[in-house]
């Protein structure tokens, strides 16, 4: 008889209408919400989450802006990988004294794109604190990639300065918000990560070895001479 009573108590729903097993199975953000709702009134909960939801939306809006920016710079690096661009710039790239002139590498944006995507998923899942930390990491990765863009690629018209003001001062890893849908522009993160185009290294001294993309130029010059 006593065993039956114990089993009945274990199965008894809590005030939230959930069994103990269900509560422990909640995701971290939902569990945080449940704890807050259990300690304060509904009006207070609504007030708190109006503020954190606004922070979530602001970070998501900024995140999508940065993905659009990264995609644009990556496209310009892809354009710089074509035959004509390399013929035009290979001597500058080969000059070891020009540290600002480097080979275009569109694949370097994959790191920040992945971090932006992970940050977006955490923010939309309600894990505001974790999402904000990933967003900061993504912004740092973007800055590193931006610093490696060759000076032969024009990105002066692109906003490169980042806004640290989007992070609320009271955010920590445990801060939670209400979940929301992922923005459609998050698909750009997959597009950026899927790029695999790279260029072969140019020789350090262009007088010793001539890159393959100059072959046509040489052939054209020989043909011109034979015409005279």
190-208 pLDDT, tens per residue? 999 999 987 665 555 444 4
From CA 152, how far away is CA 103, in angstroms rounded?
9
* Location of structure tokens 């959930």: 18
DSSP character for 153? S
Question: For residue 17, what are its two tokens?
Answer: 């209408």
From CA 55, how far away is CA 215, in angstroms rounded?
56
Instruction: Report how far apart the first and last C-alpha atoms of the chain are (Å, whole number).
Output: 113
C-beta atoms surrounding 93 within 10 Å: 21
From CA 157, how far away is CA 159, in angstroms rounded?
7
Within the chain, what is the greatest distance between any pair of CA atoms?
A: 113
The segment with the largest mean pLDDT, out of 11-20, 125-134, 157-166, 170-179, is 125-134
Question: For residue 169, what are its two tokens?
Answer: 């001062």
Confidence of residue 6 (pLDDT cuts 50, 70, 90): very low
Confidence of residue 20 (pLDDT cuts 50, 70, 90): very low
**Predicted pLDDT at 110:** 97
What's the chain's average pLDDT?
76
From CA 154, how far away is CA 43, in angstroms rounded?
52
C-beta atoms surrounding 117 within 10 Å: 22
pLDDT digits 0-9 by tens, 49-108:
788 899 999 999 999 999 999 999 999 999 888 766 666 666 666 655 566 667 789 999
| pLDDT-above-90 percentage for the chain | 39
* Location of structure tokens 């892809």: 78
pLDDT value at 41 more than 80: no
From CA 134, how far away is CA 138, in angstroms rounded?
6
């Amino acid at each position: 008889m006593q065993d039956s009573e114990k089993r009945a108590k274990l199965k008894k729903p809590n005030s939230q209408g959930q069994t103990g097993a269900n509560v422990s199975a909640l995701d971290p953000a939902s569990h945080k919400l449940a704890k807050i709702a259990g300690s304060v009134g509904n009006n207070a909960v609504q007030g708190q989450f109006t503020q954190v939801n606004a922070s979530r939306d602001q970070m998501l809006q900024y995140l999508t802006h940065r993905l659009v920016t990264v995609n644009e710079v990556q496209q310009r690096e892809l354009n710089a990988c074509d035959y004509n661009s390399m013929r035009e710039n290979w001597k500058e790239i080969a000059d070891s004294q020009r540290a600002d002139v480097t080979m275009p590498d569109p694949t370097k944006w994959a790191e920040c794109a992945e971090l932006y995507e992970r940050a977006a998923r955490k923010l939309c899942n309600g894990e505001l604190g974790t999402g904000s930390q990933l967003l900061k990491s993504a912004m740092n990765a973007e800055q590193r990639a931006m610093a490696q863009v060759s000076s032969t690629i024009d990105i002066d018209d692109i906003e490169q300065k980042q806004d640290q003001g989007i992070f609320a001062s009271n955010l920590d890893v445990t801060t939670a918000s209400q979940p929301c849908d992922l923005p459609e522009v998050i698909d750009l993160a997959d597009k950026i990560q899927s790029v695999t185009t790279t260029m072969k290294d140019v020789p350090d001294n262009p007088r010793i070895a001539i890159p393959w993309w100059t072959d046509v130029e040489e052939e054209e010059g020989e043909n011109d001479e034979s015409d005279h």
